Structure 1
Amino acid sequence: MARVVIQAVVSVDGYIAYPDDTVGPLFDWYFNGDTELSARPSGWTFNVSRTSAAYVQPFWDAIDVTVIGRHLFDTTNGWDGKPAAGEQLVVVTHRPLPQEWLADHPDAPFHTADSVEAGIALAKKLAGDGLVAVTAGDVGGQAFSAGLVDEVAMDVVPVVMGEGVRFFGGHTGTVLLDDPDQVVQGDRVLHLHYTIKR
């Protein structure tokens, strides 16, 4: 059965972007090292510390399907039809994807679902026994609140942003996690991984 992880780069005070969706210094660590990190199938490459690459590359390589919300799809123009990570992508949306975008990207391995629950179910079906990554923010927070997330992965950057888009979106309530099962200190980033006990 597929595992579901909510993941993002996050500030110390819990933000994944500013209110205008820019990320400021959150992604600086992607460019401060001498070891190449490669995302598939997008082909994006970064240069991170050796320690970060040893943690992040296997994690990214394990992702089979990514689940995002419509806002992120619109903000990134659907990454031009190539998922940032994983072979397929599910967009949670109540509106069809734009016809002109579909025409420009006829082979994009993108699917849609009209709810977070349906999106996670579809992603798990597509992933088989693999890994489903849900982007943090509103969609990830909804999945977390609904009990659909098995793991939490955070790349914590030493910056306090003060405002913006929260890692868990609008999730409210207290959830007590166990200690992280992975703690990796990179250069200007701390990689944390939690497995949710049920």
Structure 2
Amino acid sequence: MTKVCTGASMSLDGYVSGPGETGFDKLFAWYDNGDITVETTHPELTFHLTDVSATYWRRLVAETGALVVGRKLFDMTEGWGGEHPMGVPVVVLTHTVPDGWPREGAPFHFVTDGGEEGVRRAVALARELAGDRDVVVNSGTIAQQCLDAGLLEEVGIDLVPVLMGGGTPFFTDLRNAPYQLEGPVSLAEGRQVTHLRYRVRYA
């Protein structure tokens, strides 16, 4: 059954990026600290993972049927060159469709509704595209809005032993906090990372 999930590499003090969007080299170092080569749909993007992290990543890819991302990430990656590295459809939540999109054959779908209604429409579309697999929503604003709307069912954390001291928190300004999480429902100890998954419990 399709779940709506989010996930991110996070520092021990709760940040998914450091001050001024720095620190990604430390937060994502676990993608290249192992001996197992894991390819993506982009030949130039190859991970080198430990056995534990490779098993975790392959499970995540196998379970993911569609993504929901924001315009900031879409622009930063330049639309991943027309295909996301996970090889699944992507729903982009944005105020305006970017110039030159949509492109024929590219698995990107754009939702331009604002506020909670836009989030609900984006998640509903992603559910249709995902079939019986999971929908993964981008961490940050979209994940927060999904949580406050009662849509988010699971939170994944790749916990990295580094202290950022500031930056962008995984979650902030939650409308209906506190939220209770159950678990971890799964736990895997990689090298310089602990992969955790929690189930969201709504009151």
TM-score by length of 1: 0.90
Q: Does 2:92 correspond to 1:91?
A: yes
Instruction: Name the amino acid aligned to 2:196.
Output: L
Q: Distance in 2 between matches of 1:197 and 1:155?
A: 20
Matches within 5 A, 1:72-91: 72-91=73-92
Distance 1:5 1:76, change over 3 A: same
Taking the aligned partners of 1:81 and 1:20, their CA distance within structure 2 comes to: 27
The letter of the residue matching 1:106 is E
Deviation sequence 1:119-169 (CA, Å, 0-9, x none): 111101111211111111111111112111111111111111122222125
Contact 2:65 2:132 survives alignment (8 Å): no
Change (3 A) 1:64 1:169: farther
Contact 2:179/2:201, CA 8 A, preserved across alignment? no
- How far 1:190 moved relative to its partner? 0.4
Paired residues of 2:19 and 2:166 also in contact (CA < 8 A): yes
- What SS does the corresponding residue of 2:184 show, helix, strand or coil? coil
Structure 2 match to 1:48: 49
Query: What's 1:110 paired with?
Result: 108
Contact between 1:153 and 1:192, CA under 8 Å: does it hold in 2?
yes
Q: Distance in 2 between matches of 1:6 and 1:136?
A: 6
Kindly, what percent of the aligned residue pairs are identical?
38
Match of 1:9 in 2: 9
SS of 2:8 mapped into structure 1: strand
TM-score norm. by structure 2 comes to 0.88
Deviation at 1:9, TM superposition (A): 1.1
Unaligned runs of 5+ in 1: none
Aligned counterpart for 1:194 among listed residues 189, 192, 198: 198
Distance 1:86 1:11 in 2: 27
Alpha-carbon distance in 2 for matches of 1:32, 1:191 = 15
Matched, 1:133 2:139: no
Contact 2:183/2:197, CA 8 A, preserved across alignment: no
Structure 2 counterpart of 1:48, which letter? L
Match of 1:162 in 2: 165
Q: Which amino acid aligns with 2:104?
A: P
Question: How far apart, in 2, do the equivalents of 1:20 and 1:34 lie?
Answer: 32
Q: Is the 8 A contact 1:12 1:156 kept in 2?
A: yes
| Residue of structure 1 equivalent to 2:155 | 152
CA RMSD of aligned residues (A): 1.8
CA distance in 2 between counterparts of 1:171 and 1:71 reads 20
Counterpart residue identity of residue 32, structure 2: F
- Cα distance, 1:19 vs structure 2: 4.3
SS in 2 for 1:73: helix
Contact 1:38 1:57 in 2 (8 A): no
Cα distance in 2 for residues equivalent to 1:63 and 1:110 = 15
Distance in 2, matches of 1:112 and 1:195, equals 28
Kept in 1: contact 2:30–2:191 (CA 8 A): yes
